[in-house]
Each structure stands twice: as structure tokens, then as C-alpha cells.
Amino acid sequence: MKQIVILISGRGSNMEALIAARDAGRLPVAIAAVISNRPDAAGLATAARAGIATRHLDHKAFASREDFDAALADCIDGYAPDLVVLAGFMRILSEGFVRHYEGRLMNIHPSLLPSFPGLHTHQRALDEGVRIHGCTVHFVTPTLDHGPVIIQAAVPVLDGDSEESLAARILVQEHRIYPQAVRWFAEDRLRLEDGRVRIAAELSDAAGLISPELR
């Protein structure tokens, strides 16, 4: 079974969705550890209650981004994960860190990338008057909130929406698509071809295409 490490900075609701999917038998992974750059991240207590190893590494204690990222990579690599899952990890990552985890570093972002990279995505979507907004799970590249898209979900922007109401509608979708993306990775179904993600058919689907006498 594949091992994952989850990185958080705060509430950890996406992490909780991953734990819930694992517990429900919908996500065949072992969660080796949850690591936060903020010692007071609420998600750390949630992970500990679920019996998962937790670590914190305060970025403020490091002289440079590169120093922090090197220590973070050491901490992560101690668990030898197959996949590193950024779940509300609010740090810009150095190029060296991203390259080290190329093809095994996933992020969720609260917009339909490439629209609205960065912060305050919901307010910016409201300010622009877009009719559709959403969330994206992607493999991470050195460019902020950029990289091959694995799955997206869209929601309507409704008259009278506030930043909070829009965020809440999208969070429901985040909690649906992140476990799905990690599950595809766990099942070895994601392939990167020419900078795009291809999702292989489920084995059960493929088996269904083969007539019984040939199986």
C-alpha cells in the first residue's frame, strides 16, 4: 500500500476528508504523517486524535526559505512517502524542494486554475463577476499554483454570494475531489504525458471490456 505524508498549515479539513475516505475504505493509502509549518495548526490535533503521527516545523525558526524547505524535506523523507499531499499548506516552495518531489507532490487550490492563482481566490472571483468558480487538484511545479491538472470541480457563483458562502460551496467539492485524485495515484492510474495528466481506466472497467472467454 502506498504511503502518503500530508502537509497542512491550519484547519485541515481537506486532510480530514482524506482520513475519512481512508477510514471508509475509499482511499487505499497509509497516512504516514501529518506535518505543519505552524505549531498551532488545528489540524494537528485532529490528526493526532485519528492516531496519525504529527510533526511541526516552524518556518519562522529558519533563516531562509531554502533552509526551511531542506529541513522539511528531511522530515518528510524520514517517512519515505510515495506521495506528498499539500492540504492547505500555505507556503511558497523553493524550486529545489519541488524538483525533489517531482511527480509525487500534489496540491489543492481553491479556483479553476489557471484562473486565480495565489490568495483570496473567492473574493477575486466575485470581483471579476465570473459565473463559474471551483477548485483544482494538480501536480506541483516550481511556478506557484501551477502544474498538470488532475481533477477540477466547478460550482455556480450565485447572486448574493459572499466570499464565505462561495468558499463553503467550493469546500464541499474540495473534499470530494482530493480523495479521488489521491485514490487515482494510489491505484497507479495517473500518467504524466507531455505535461498533461492521463487517467487510466479502472482495472474493473478494463476487465469489463474483455469478453469472458478471453479473460
**What is the DSSP code string of 59-77?**
GGGSSSHHHHHHHHHHHHH
Is residue 13 at the binding interface for ligand GAR, with CB under 6 A as the rule?
yes
Question: 59, 109, 138, 175: which one is catalytic?
Answer: 109
Closest by Cα among 143, 139, 166 to 155: 166
Q: Which three cell numbers stand for residue 85?
A: 499531499
* Nearest distance from C-beta of residue 182 to ligand GAR, angstroms: 13
State which residue has the least CB distance to ligand GAR.
88
Is residue 179 at the binding interface for ligand GAR, with CB under 6 A as the rule?
no
In the three-class reduction of DSSP (H, G, I as helix; E, B as strand; rest coil), residue 107 is classed as strand
Task: Show contacts with ligand GAR in window 23-62 (CB under 6 A).
Answer: 43
Asked about 109 being catalytic, the answer comes back as: yes
Q: Which three cell numbers stand for residue 151?
A: 481533477
Q: Which three cell numbers stand for residue 196?
A: 498533461
Of 63 and 83, CB closest to ligand GAR? 83
What is the rounded CA–CA span in Å between residue 59 and residue 116? 25
* Nearest distance from C-beta of residue 114 to ligand GAR, angstroms: 13
Is residue 134 at the binding interface for ligand GAR, with CB under 6 A as the rule?
no
Binding site for ligand GAR (CB under 6 A): 8, 10-14, 43, 87-88, 108-110, 145, 171, 174
